Structure 1
């Protein structure tokens, strides 16, 4: 897989990711949802932490949320340079198409979420339950550089019902699968890692 094809894939994913996020941000109030199918809905939330809203300060109590946010964003920026080097090295060595595709997906997804974390606080005002955000508001954004929140909107409640009573421990309780809300960038990252796991031998073989 050539550098040109890798760049095209990355650009396409970034465009879809950012266009979907900006559209949701300027058209949806916070936690507004639209059901597309019984198992799929567009549900707008914002995530200022790690995966599924986890924060560094949840594990290190003496670090404030704002300091932890900057640390996390800077870590993501450093990580993206590492992924970029990995991708460049794989292309230069003419590694397998699966490996290069997987790294490209991971890179695009990571970069997509970094854009939110670095810039969205400056580019948009606050999304509230009764307020749709505005792009480049006159009064300024909702926070400083590096303090942006990641926009999530894809929710797949494939199962959302009461579990059968015969099931031990959880029978009769309400259960939702899949509960987390995510975005296109998250999908790209997950797909890339899944490719590396499922096609491990082929990915790390130079045979195309």
Structure 2
């Protein structure tokens, strides 16, 4: 493999490996619903499993679960192909690394969806659940009574429980959106004006 391919794919492989190590540790040392605090009440491990997308979002039913898993597999193939294309055509290194993060995150959750049900004996192939554990309820309280729709209701920020793979996807997408002008910058060819041609003559 050429040197240009090594760093992004090694980065993706490292993230996938670390993501799986964390998930396996959580499964072996915690029960669903268990909580381990490491930042008081503002940061903790909370072991949950879900059928769906990043941050616990789901598509309903067994068909929805299978559809999501198959979509993930196709998406990972597309992202991998896109990453090779970016490297081959020497796109911005920052863009290449962010796409590598997205690839790693998608692949990390695919492993859960495809294999965990079979490995841990609770579901057939492609019907495994994704393991989530990071929970950071940094701010909590109640909406004021004058607030529309949710007046008086409890709110928590940040409510979703996620894993390292989710984080990799989110960081990759956000950084691409924030740096798209730099990542997709291209030089415009110079166009000579009639005046410049007259000066040359």
1:50 Cα offset (Å): 2.5
The answer to which structure has the higher helix fraction is 2
1:67 Cα offset (Å): 2.0
- Between the two proteins, the alignment pairs up a number of residues equal to 184
| TM-score normalised by L of structure 1 | 0.82
What corresponds to 1:183 in structure 2?
163
Q: 2:59 aligns with which of 39, 52, 56?
A: 56
Mapped contact 2:138–2:158 kept (Cα < 8 A): yes
| CA pair 174-55 structure 1, distance change in 2 beyond 3 A | closer
Mapped contact 1:106–1:189 kept (Cα < 8 A): yes
Structure-2 separation of matches of 1:99 and 1:112: 20
What corresponds to 1:3 in structure 2?
5
1:12 Cα offset (Å): 1.2
What corresponds to 1:40 in structure 2?
43
1:6-17 equivalent positions in 2, closer than 5 A: 6-17=8-19
Structure-2 separation of matches of 1:81 and 1:170: 41
1:75-154 equivalent positions in 2, closer than 5 A: 75-124=71-120, 141-154=121-134
1:174 Cα offset (Å): 2.0
Structure 2 unaligned spans of 5+: 188-201
Q: Does the alignment pair 1:157 with 2:153? A: no
Which of structures 1 and 2 has the bigger CA Rg?
2
Structure-2 separation of matches of 1:13 and 1:188: 8
Deviations 1:68-88 (A, max 9, x none): 211111111011000001000
Structure 1 unaligned spans of 5+: 58-64, 125-140
Say which structure, 1 or 2, has more relative contact order (CA 8 Å, 6+ apart).
1
